Amino acid sequence: MTAAVRPDAGLKLAGAAVFGTDLDVPGMLWAAFVPAPVAHGRIRSLDLRAARALPGVTVIGPDDLAGLVGPGERDSERTLFAEGEIVYRNQPLAVVAAPSLSEARAAVAAVKVEVDPLPIVSDLEQVFPEWPGSDADASPLIAAHVRARHGNVDVEFRKADRVVSETYRTASVHQVALEPHACVAEIRGDIWFVRTTTQSPFGVREDASSLLGWPESSIVVEGTWVGGGFGGKGACFLEPYALLLARATGRPVRLALTYSEEFRLGRTTLPAVVRMETAVTAGQIRARRVRLLLDVGTSLPGRDFATGYSIGFLLGPYRTEAFEVEGYAVRTHKPPFGPHRAPFAPQCAFVVESHLDHVARELNLDPEEFRARHHWREGDTTPLGQKVGPFGLASAFERARSTAREWRAEAPPGHGVGIGCGFWSTSTGAGGEVRLRLGPQRLVVLQGEREIGSGSVLAGLTAVAARTSGLPPERISIEYGNTAEAPFDSGVYGSRTLGALGRAIEEAVTALRRTLAQRLGARGQAELSIERDEIYAEAGERRAALVVLLTPEEDAAGGILAEGRHFAPPRTIDEKRVLSGSFYPYTDFTGAAHVAEVSVDPATGAVRVERYAAFQDAGTVVDRGSAQAQVEGGVAMGLGTALTEEAIWSDEGRLVNDGLLDYRIPTLDEIPPIAVEFIEGFAGAGPFGAKGLGEPPIVPVPATVAIATRAACGAHVTELPLSAERVARALKLL
């Protein structure tokens, strides 16, 4: 398989790409956080004097903000420092800057803090050993409570042939982008300028403004090359602190996390408990009850997106007559819950697929046939009352079954083959815009996102611009501008980049081609081509070199300009089905079915994935190299969630395994051969009917491994990850 050469390969292979951690400005200071020593407590005193007395050291604590923040309204729920009460371990109490990192650390060590410890809530089931009762909404531990219902659930359960109930538990997992968070801030005149490794420069600007009280117009955010995001770099984090220190010192300030801080402060997926109850009559799922307890760390009241969005993935992609879901977001003394590639969807798919596989086995039905019979198809209605759009899941599942049959025929004893499904929806965020300049030799796309590695910006947008303009990819440049230079975009997340910015490019290219057709005296859109190194436009009977079609102003500006925007197409759910909280519609429906062959060591329970195949609904594949790379990378990351990754929190709210030795992402050794096949033709919301592919490939992986493991050895494991020890327990070896 030959991949097209990535536009950024040469730079990265020469070691010349400047990442956030590489930023280096003459005279810059090094910053570090003063971390909270406990997970919960009242601050009796915070004595910063000894730290301030050290040469060259500047310290900013809660009491120093008044002179630095702006006149604007500041977010009262999210404070920069723990004020009065500490709510998670390592929460910033203050931030220091010094001429070197070792001096900054010495200053941190010189801070004296006295804390009266308060009781720590660290574990969901410690708080709610039973399901939260009717008084739970009043509990300060409940950050959100969502409920939805449709159909005659109680009747269906009462008259069911069989009801199957199970409880599942899933672990906290971390994004583990290899580059930790890092930024360098400088004050340039009236401008608060920060360069940072981020998935969302405009999002950082907006948040920094609301945290600092300065208007967005006075803040400029410039993205660097991003050493992996996976959701972890989607929000403002270090930037306001670095900006405050830059303001206070008058010097550039570098603030970067060590890798253990990256773990300890990371906003990521926290543990969850899910209860599944399914009523089956005559081989059909008649009704389901789904209950979710989601640990959201120190998340704030009302921020129930995680709960309301996640819970949808516990219902679909399966037809049911009646359902009832209830989810609680539970506050614990951990850092806030944050997005992690397809947030919580792999965990949901693990629960749904394992449960339905189990239900079918309990009823002596063929588990694959049972699932296939209930898969959503285009035109179905989701439990929340949204019409299912073009959806390739059934086709993907059919391909997966045929592969699974072949593999089963060849599998030696001790091996098992299983299929897992998953679905996801591209999110579009708050829209995106691009600015195009078509010159005599090149088409330049100016936009506001940096490449985070997935290829969606550099390879994906190039492919869209090439396909819509008719120009070869080498004639397209994707240029990046900071938030003062580039048009708005909401961020590289939610598998949205190709869809949103790609659609914006389509609109702008169409406008350009119409303008050119007009200038050639024709209607419609001009065709572009290359001849003797020049771009030519052709419409109607006329054809001309672009250079002669430019106005003098355009000539001076380097080309003809156009803008394109894209906003999410409106989608709705049936709000009558919602009893409390918020649930969300999907932009499009992206399915995937995966096949794994695993071997299980019958003595130790160790699971090894021997081979893997992914059938991915893609709408239309726009850039095959990037698309395949997303599936391979998503599968590998999912294998970590499935088998080895587990952030362990102690009863004291301490992250026990805060390093890459004990938090185990897959190494090369654990990755099997991965076959990738795309299912095309079920159009999504992106250009040419493309569906976003950053997240969907990770969704089915833990489910697939779990079902294959059960096929191999009979172990029905209801907890993630499927460590050897958990498999051994399920096999009753212990």
Residues 450-479 that bind another protein (CB under 8 A): 452-455
Judged by beta carbon, residue 10 or residue 117, the one nearer another protein is 10
Judged by beta carbon, residue 3 or residue 363, the one nearer another protein is 3
User: At closest approach, how far in Å is the CB of 499 from another protein?
Assistant: 19
User: At closest approach, how far in Å is the CB of 480 from another protein?
Assistant: 15
Find the binder of another protein among 176, 384, 535, 613 (CB under 8 A): 176
Tally of CA atoms within 13 A in the half-sphere of 373 that contains its CB: 16
Q: If you write DSSP's letter for every residue of 60-99 in order, what string do you get?
A: E-GGGGGGTS-SS---SSS-SS--SEE-STT-EEEEEEES
* Window 218-277: residues binding another protein (CB under 8 A): 225-230, 258-259
Q: How many residues bind another protein (CB under 8 A)?
A: 74
Sign of the torsion angle spanned by Cα atoms 356, 359, 364, 365: negative
Amino acid identity of residue 247, one-letter, is R
User: At closest approach, how far in Å is the CB of 194 from another protein?
Assistant: 19
Tally of CA atoms within 13 A in the half-sphere of 51 that contains its CB: 28
733 touches another protein by CB under 8 A: yes
- CA–centroid distance for 595 within its chain: 23
Judged by beta carbon, residue 357 or residue 451, the one nearer another protein is 451
Judged by beta carbon, residue 364 or residue 667, the one nearer another protein is 667
Judged by beta carbon, residue 309 or residue 493, the one nearer another protein is 493
* Window 571-630: residues binding another protein (CB under 8 A): 603-604, 606, 625, 629
Find the binder of another protein among 666, 684, 696, 702 (CB under 8 A): 666
Find the binder of another protein among 142, 173, 177, 248 (CB under 8 A): 177
Greatest alpha-carbon span in the chain: 83
Tally of CA atoms within 13 A in the half-sphere of 275 that contains its CB: 15
69 touches another protein by CB under 8 A: no
Judged by beta carbon, residue 221 or residue 609, the one nearer another protein is 609
Residue of 597, 704, 721 whose CA lies nearest to 353 = 704
Token pair listed for 373: 């019979």
Find the binder of another protein among 95, 113, 500, 665 (CB under 8 A): 665
Residue of 318, 365, 381, 294 whose CA lies nearest to 573 = 381
Judged by beta carbon, residue 551 or residue 604, the one nearer another protein is 604
User: At closest approach, how far in Å is the CB of 612 from another protein?
Assistant: 10
Token pair listed for 386: 């949204």
Find the binder of another protein among 231, 634, 684, 700 (CB under 8 A): 634
635 touches another protein by CB under 8 A: yes
13 touches another protein by CB under 8 A: yes
Judged by beta carbon, residue 295 or residue 658, the one nearer another protein is 658
179 touches another protein by CB under 8 A: yes
Judged by beta carbon, residue 333 or residue 450, the one nearer another protein is 450
| Span near another protein by CB under 8 A; candidates 64-72, 382-390, 653-661, 683-691 | 653-661
At which residue do the structure tokens 């009893």 appear?
Answer: 579
Preceding omega of 721 cis (within 30 degrees of 0): yes
Q: What is the x/- site pattern for another protein, positions 394-423, by CB under 8 A? A: ------------------------------
Residue pair 183/256 in contact (Cβ under 8 Å)? The answer is yes
User: At closest approach, how far in Å is the CB of 341 from another protein?
Assistant: 10
User: At closest approach, how far in Å is the CB of 397 from another protein?
Assistant: 22
206 touches another protein by CB under 8 A: no
Separation of alpha carbons 483 and 488, rounded Å: 7
Residue pair 693/627 in contact (Cβ under 8 Å)? The answer is yes
Find the binder of another protein among 266, 633, 653, 700 (CB under 8 A): 633
Q: If you write DSSP's letter for every residue of 403-430 in order, what string do you get?
A: HHHHHHHHPPTTEEEEEEEEEE----TT
User: At closest approach, how far in Å is the CB of 606 from another protein?
Assistant: 7
Separation of alpha carbons 294 and 242, rounded Å: 32
Judged by beta carbon, residue 14 or residue 409, the one nearer another protein is 14
Tally of CA atoms within 13 A in the half-sphere of 502 that contains its CB: 33
| Span near another protein by CB under 8 A; candidates 80-88, 89-97, 173-181, 472-480 | 173-181
User: At closest approach, how far in Å is the CB of 708 from another protein?
Assistant: 18
| Span near another protein by CB under 8 A; candidates 50-58, 61-69, 429-437, 669-677 | 669-677
Tally of CA atoms within 13 A in the half-sphere of 256 that contains its CB: 22
Separation of alpha carbons 224 and 217, rounded Å: 20
Find the binder of another protein among 6, 195, 247, 513 (CB under 8 A): 6
Q: Write the CB contacts of 601 (distance below 8 Å, at least 6 apart in sequence).
A: 608, 724
Residue of 44, 452, 33 whose CA lies nearest to 241 = 33
* Window 686-725: residues binding another protein (CB under 8 A): 723-725
Amino acid identity of residue 6, one-letter, is R
557 touches another protein by CB under 8 A: no
Judged by beta carbon, residue 288 or residue 334, the one nearer another protein is 334
Find the binder of another protein among 42, 78, 361, 664 (CB under 8 A): 664
Find the binder of another protein among 68, 511, 545, 671 (CB under 8 A): 671
User: At closest approach, how far in Å is the CB of 16 from another protein?
Assistant: 7
Residue of 221, 207, 191 whose CA lies nearest to 80 = 207
* Window 518-547: residues binding another protein (CB under 8 A): none
> How many C-beta atoms surround the C-beta of residue 151 within 10 A?
16
The SS3 call for residue 451 is coil
Q: What is the x/- site pattern for another protein, positions 16-45, by CB under 8 A? A: xxxx-xx-x---------------------
Judged by beta carbon, residue 50 or residue 68, the one nearer another protein is 50
Residue pair 528/515 in contact (Cβ under 8 Å)? The answer is no
Residue pair 678/613 in contact (Cβ under 8 Å)? The answer is no
User: At closest approach, how far in Å is the CB of 512 from another protein?
Assistant: 31
At which residue do the structure tokens 């119409």 appear?
Answer: 514
* Window 353-372: residues binding another protein (CB under 8 A): none
1 touches another protein by CB under 8 A: yes
User: At closest approach, how far in Å is the CB of 259 from another protein?
Assistant: 4
| Span near another protein by CB under 8 A; candidates 184-192, 418-426, 540-548, 661-669 | 661-669
Find the binder of another protein among 75, 216, 670, 680 (CB under 8 A): 670
3-state SS, one letter per residue, for 100-130 = CHHHHHHHHHHCEEEEEECCCCCCHHHHCCC
Write the DSSP symbol of residue 459: I
* Window 101-130: residues binding another protein (CB under 8 A): 102, 105
488 touches another protein by CB under 8 A: no
Q: CA-CA distances (angstroms) from residue 632 to 415, 584, 625, 673, 707?
A: 22, 29, 11, 9, 20
Residue of 334, 335, 263, 266 whose CA lies nearest to 659 = 263
Write the DSSP symbol of residue 460: I
Separation of alpha carbons 302 and 305, rounded Å: 8
Amino acid identity of residue 147, one-letter, is R
Spatial strand order of the sheet with 41-47 comes to 85-86, 41-47, 112-117
| Span near another protein by CB under 8 A; candidates 213-221, 278-286, 415-423, 666-674 | 666-674
Judged by beta carbon, residue 13 or residue 300, the one nearer another protein is 13
Q: What are phi and psi of 34, to 5 degrees?
A: -95, 110
